[in-house]
C-alpha cells in the first residue's frame, strides 16, 4: 500500500489516494519511485482532448527510482538497482531491437490506449479491489509502480535521481533528435522550432555538437531569454515577419540552415523546418506529434534538390542500451540538466506542477 495521485476524471485535479500495488508478474519489476517529473503528454491525456479517455488512471512517465522486487524471468535487474522507467521499451528479441537503426520495439512500443500490463492485460493498481488504469506502462505518479523489465534502464547508482529523472522522456527525445538523427557537424547552423523542454534539449544537443549558430523559432518571445542558456544564439518569432519564416531563415543564413529540428507538433512548423534547410545537404528532423488529420505538404522539388526529411521517436535511443550512456554524459559534465528544472514541489502538491505547466511557467 502506498500513496498515488489518481486522475478520476478528465481535467479534474489529481487526488492523493492510498492504492494497493500488486507484486510484479513475469518479466516485471516493482519500483519505488523517488522523483517524478511532469511532461506535456501527461497533461494532454489528463485533459483527454482528442483521444479515448481512460479513467481512473495513474499518470506519469518521467521518473527515477530503485527496484524493490522483480518478477519471474527477470535476470538483468535486481532489488536495489537505480533505474529510470521509460514509456517505450526494448524487448531485445524483435527485428527492431536487432536493428542498429531502430528503437521502435514491436512488443513494448508506446501504447497510449493500454491500461493494463502486457503479460495479462490486468492492472497492478487497485483501490478497495477496484482496478486503476496504468499509463504508458510506467504510471510514475505513485510511490510504487510496476513496469515491464524491458522498459527499465539501469543507471549509475551515483547519479542524482532528482536530476536524471528528466532523462527518461523529453530531454532524451530532443537531445537524440539532434545528436543521433540531425547529426550537425562542428561549425554548422541549426534551427530549432519550438523552445519548450524538448526544443531546449534539441538546442543542448546542437551546443554539444559544436554548432556555430543555433536559431530558435517560437511564437512566445518570452522564451528567448531562457533559451540562451541552452546555446541558442539567435531568435525568430514568425509573428514579427510578414513573409514565411523559412524565407526569413534562408535570408539570415545565405540559403538555409544546415540542420533543423521541429519540436512543436504543428504541421505548419514541420513544413517550415523542412523548407528552411539548405539545398544539397540540409537535413530536417521532425519530433513533434501532429494532430491525427494533419497532412504534410511540400513541393517534391524540395526533396529533389537534395534536402533530407527525417522523423524520430524518443531521439532514436534504445531505452535499456543507450539511456545509461545519456546519464553518463551528465555525470561527465558534458550535459547540463539542472537548467531544465524550474520548480520542485512535494508529491502531495502535484496539482501545483500541473498549474505551472498549464500557465507555461515551467
pLDDT at 152: 98
* Number of other CB atoms surrounding residue 196 within 10 Å: 20
Roughly what angle, to the nearest 10 degrees, separates helices 245-252 and 267-275? Answer: 30
The residue whose grid cell reads 543507471 is: 155
3-state DSSP percent of the chain in helix, strand and coil, to 5: 30, 20, 45
* Domain co-membership, 144 together with 279: no
Strands 82-85 and 125-127: unpaired
Q: What percent of the chain has pLDDT over 70?
A: 100
For range 9-16, the mean pLDDT: 96
pLDDT in tens, 70-85: 999 999 999 999 999 9
For range 290-305, the mean pLDDT: 93
* Cβ(9)–Cβ(55) below 8 Å: yes
The residue whose grid cell reads 523552445 is: 195
CATH number for the domain including 252? 3.40.50.720
* Domain co-membership, 176 together with 203: yes
The span from the CA of 302 to the CA of 283, in Å, is 11
Q: Mean pLDDT score of the chain, rounded to an integer?
A: 96
DSSP state of 180: I
Closest of 59, 63, 67 to residue 32, by C-alpha: 67
The span from the CA of 323 to the CA of 294, in Å, is 31
* Domain co-membership, 235 together with 338: no
Using CA atoms of 262, 362, 211, 168 in order, give the dihedral in degrees to the nearest 10.
-80
Closest of 12, 27, 36 to residue 124, by C-alpha: 27
pLDDT in tens, 241-254: 999 999 999 999 99
* Domain co-membership, 185 together with 142: no
Grid cell locating 28: 516485471
Strands 213-217 and 234-236: parallel
4-35 b/e (C-beta count within 10 Å ≥ 16 → b): bbbbeeeeeebeebebebeebbebbbbbbbeb
pLDDT in tens, 130-176: 999 999 999 999 999 999 999 999 999 999 999 999 999 999 999 99
Closest of 200, 184, 213, 169 to residue 263, by C-alpha: 200
pLDDT at 242: 96
Q: How many domains does one find in the chain?
A: 2
How buried is residue 164: exposed, middle or buried, by Cβ count under 10 Å (0-12/13-18/19+)?
A: buried
* Domain co-membership, 189 together with 148: no
* Domain co-membership, 111 together with 197: no
pLDDT at 52: 80
pLDDT at 318: 98
Q: Give the strands of the sheet with 152-154, arranged side by side.
A: 144-148, 28-37, 62-70, 82-85, 152-154
Domain containing residue 100: 2-168+318-359
Closest of 328, 274, 322 to residue 301, by C-alpha: 274
For range 320-325, the mean pLDDT: 98
* Domain co-membership, 325 together with 340: yes
* Domain co-membership, 269 together with 256: yes
* Domain co-membership, 138 together with 81: yes
pLDDT at 271 over 80: yes
pLDDT at 50: 65
For range 297-316, the mean pLDDT: 97
The residue whose grid cell reads 496504468 is: 134
The residue whose grid cell reads 519505488 is: 32
The span from the CA of 168 to the CA of 270, in Å, is 25
pLDDT at 49: 78
Question: What are the φ/ψ torsions at residue 283 (nearest 5 degrees)?
Answer: -125, 130
DSSP state of 150: G
The span from the CA of 317 to the CA of 333, in Å, is 20
* Domain co-membership, 227 together with 300: yes
pLDDT at 311: 97
CATH number for the domain including 29? 3.90.180.10
The residue whose grid cell reads 513533434 is: 288
- The helix/strand/coil state of 236 is strand
* Domain co-membership, 162 together with 180: no
* Domain co-membership, 179 together with 308: yes
Amino acid at each position: 500500500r502506498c500513496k498515488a495521485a489518481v486522475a478520476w476524471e478528465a481535467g479534474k485535479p489529481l487526488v492523493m489516494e492510498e492504492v494497493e500495488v500488486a507484486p510484479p508478474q513475469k518479466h516485471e519489476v516493482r519500483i519505488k519511485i523517488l522523483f517524478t517529473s511532469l511532461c506535456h503528454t501527461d497533461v494532454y491525456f489528463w485533459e483527454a482532448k482528442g483521444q479515448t479517455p481512460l479513467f481512473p488512471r495513474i499518470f506519469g512517465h518521467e521518473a527515477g527510482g530503485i527496484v524493490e522486487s522483480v518478477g519471474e524471468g527477470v535476470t538483468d535487474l535486481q532489488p536495489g538497482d537505480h533505474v529510470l522507467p521509460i514509456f517505450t521499451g526494448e524487448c531485445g528479441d524483435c527485428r527492431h531491437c536487432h536493428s542498429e537503426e531502430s528503437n521502435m520495439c514491436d512488443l513494448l512500443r508506446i501504447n497510449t490506449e493500454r491500461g493494463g500490463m502486457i503479460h495479462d492485460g490486468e492492472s497492478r493498481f487497485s483501490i478497495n479491489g477496484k482496478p486503476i488504469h496504468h499509463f504508458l506502462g510506467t504510471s510514475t505518479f505513485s510511490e510504487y509502480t510496476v513496469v515491464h523489465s524491458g522498459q527499465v534502464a539501469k543507471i549509475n547508482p551515483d547519479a542524482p535521481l532528482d536530476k536524471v529523472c528528466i532523462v527518461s522522456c523529453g530531454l532524451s527525445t530532443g537531445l537524440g533528435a539532434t545528436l543521433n538523427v540531425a547529426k550537425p557537424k562542428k561549425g554548422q547552423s541549426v534551427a530549432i522550432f519550438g523552445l519548450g523542454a524538448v526544443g531546449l534539449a534539441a538546442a543542448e544537443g546542437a551546443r554539444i555538437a559544436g554548432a556555430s549558430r543555433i536559431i530558435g523559432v517560437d511564437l512566445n518571445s518570452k522564451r528567448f531569454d531562457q533559451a540562451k542558456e541552452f546555446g541558442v544564439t539567435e531568435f525568430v518569432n514568425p509573428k514579427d515577419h510578414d513573409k514565411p519564416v523559412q524565407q526569413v531563415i534562408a535570408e539570415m543564413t545565405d540559403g538555409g540552415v544546415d540542420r533543423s529540428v521541429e519540436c512543436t507538433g504543428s504541421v505548419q512548423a514541420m513544413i517550415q523546418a523542412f523548407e528552411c534547410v539548405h539545398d544539397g545537404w540540409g537535413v530536417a528532423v521532425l519530433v513533434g506529434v501532429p494532430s491525427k488529420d494533419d497532412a504534410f505538404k511540400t513541393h517534391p522539388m524540395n526533396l529533389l534538390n537534395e534536402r533530407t526529411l527525417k522523423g524520430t521517436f524518443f531521439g532514436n535511443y534504445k531505452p535499456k542500451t543507450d539511456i545509461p550512456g545519456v546519464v553518463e554524459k551528465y555525470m561527465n559534465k558534458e550535459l547540463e540538466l539542472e537548467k531544465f528544472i524550474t520548480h520542485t514541489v512535494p508529491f502531495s502538491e502535484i496539482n501545483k506542477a500541473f498549474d505551472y505547466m498549464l500557465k507555461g511557467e515551467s
